[in-house]
Structure 1
Amino acid sequence: KNVKYTGDKKVKGLRGSRLKNIQTRHTKFTRDLVREVVGHAPYEKRTMELLKVSKDKRALKFLKRRLGTHIRAKRKREELSNILTQL
């Protein structure tokens, strides 16, 4: 006869691969400082120009070619559009 032991399930934490992309305060500070000093890359400037004239889809295609993946392109487009709204 198989006996099923009833007990509390173990709470599983996040895997290391999921923790990889979590941004710390120090990392955010450093990236903001570098962005302030260096400015934007040429492909980011072109993307911002495309976003200014409401060519969102074209901007996504352009970023996808430059960055390699659809998810990275969407994230970068969102980041650049947020920068434009702040200006």
Structure 2
Amino acid sequence: MGHFEMIDLVSVIDACTSDRVAGHCVSMARAVEELRVLTGDFVSPDETVANALSAVALGRGCAVVFDERAGADILLTP
């Protein structure tokens, strides 16, 4: 999980999880931005932040949408 506190990661995932017909879904674009605001870390690469958040999201049974890059539409499900 890198240098991020677990409580921060869980808080962001909980705040960014959307209920959908297919289950819980987390937008990485939104989650990455929320974690940056929460922690003040605007230096870590997006990939590092998204990897830490996606591991927590998948562990909590959420589908993850990697939409932080233009044209990206990769979906991971637990």
Q: Same fold (TM over 0.5)?
A: no
State TM-score, norm by structure 2: 0.41
- Bigger Rg over Cα: 1
State TM-score, norm by structure 1: 0.37
More strand by share: 2
Q: Which has the higher contact order (CA 8 A, sep 6+)?
A: 2
More helix by share: 1
